[in-house]
Amino acid sequence: MKLTASLLASVLSIMVATAAPLEGRDNPHNVEPYQDKHSDVAKLFVRAGEKAGKPLANGPTIGSAEWKALYPPVEKVPDVSLTPKSWTAALAAAKKAGGYPSGVPLTTADASGNYAYPAGVNPSVEPVCSFPNGCNKASDFYNAPDGVLALSFDDGPTAATTNLTNFIKKNQISASHNMIGSHIVELPTQFQQIIASGGHLSVHTWSHMHNSALTDEQILAEIGWCMQVIYDNSGLVPKFWRPPYGDLDNRVRFIAENVFNLITVTWNRDSRDWAIPSLFDQTVQKSVDEVRSYVNGSKSPGMNILEHELNNACVTVFETVYTDYVNDGWDIRNLVSLVGRRRL
């Protein structure tokens, strides 16, 4: 498939026709789903010789070796020597402007693969404020408004994306998709399926690593290259992101929010679908039961639930509980319309 100006225009028209009505509902603070194409952040992703909002108009065929060569190797932290100079300059400028959280050390993994801060550091309070250790910031999207289900899926695109997007279109709903940049390079057809379903495009980094264990420059590359591949193949610069594993602290927040102007999304409920089928004896039925316990529980606060399109088992969990969401009166929305009215 050749990425041409006409194809890109078609993609954008699909998104306007299918996603905008849902994203525009009850959005009193007028939060935009994407960055303004003329903003300083958007300019970071415009390649030499291009016009804003019109990426790769005469570029290589999507999926070709030439197209893949535009990006770092997949499924690993990008080599920081590949980072565009404009990104590193933006990071330096953000630090110079102030607010960079000093005193936030990197985590390291133990023999079991668990990441921890050095001895003597309390990650649940300032200056670290680690989400896995129970610390949330007012700028994080954590609790959904009462009675609302914030619908988003992590780790796409995957082979399971086809089934998920077909279900979404059939039921005329809209979801946010927190996407791994490497997966877009590997599965560009499924990426286009997300767009065609009216999906809201959001960032889940390039290779799904633990951010707190990375240097500033590596975090910059992980977020930046994911935003780049989304922009190159949609004309849209993401405004939202969810950190992999929820691995978020003030140092990671600073880079995401002050360099890339991203809204950080965490979660307040966990379907545990990510553990199917190999971890903790988790099964589809166990995840279904977990989600139903939330559905039948209190609607205050609403559900900002962690769900995945990692495999067909994850998709089956969502498809199974969808009727429960509807029958119990949950207001199902993607992330965009919720940020202005979230319950802090």
Whether residue 289 lies in the annotated active site: no
Which of 177, 208, 210, 308 is flagged as catalytic?
A: 308
Which of 140, 154, 216, 232 is flagged as catalytic?
A: 154
Instruction: Please name the residues in contact with 61: beta carbons below 8 A apart, sequence gap of 6 or more.
Output: 1, 2, 3, 67
Residues 291 and 274: their CA atoms lie apart, in Å, by 13
> Which two tokens mark 77?
């932290």
> Which two tokens mark 302?
């609403």
Whether residue 200 lies in the annotated active site: no
Instruction: Please name the residues in contact with 185: beta carbons below 8 A apart, sequence gap of 6 or more.
Output: 68, 71, 74, 229
The CA–CA distances, whole Å, from 162 to 14, 24, 193 equal 17, 25, 7
User: Phi first, then psi: what are they for 151, rounded to 5°?
Assistant: -95, 115
Q: Return the number of other C-beta atoms located less than 10 Å from residue 268's C-beta.
A: 18
In eight-state DSSP terms, residue 156 is E
Instruction: Please name the residues in contact with 158: beta carbons below 8 A apart, sequence gap of 6 or more.
Output: 183, 187, 190, 309, 310, 311
Which position has the token pair 């969808």? 322
The CA–CA distances, whole Å, from 43 to 85, 127, 270, 273 equal 13, 31, 36, 37
Closest of 15, 57, 28, 44 to residue 259, by C-alpha = 44
Half-sphere exposure of residue 281: CA atoms within 13 angstroms, side-chain side:
0
**Active site members:** 154, 308
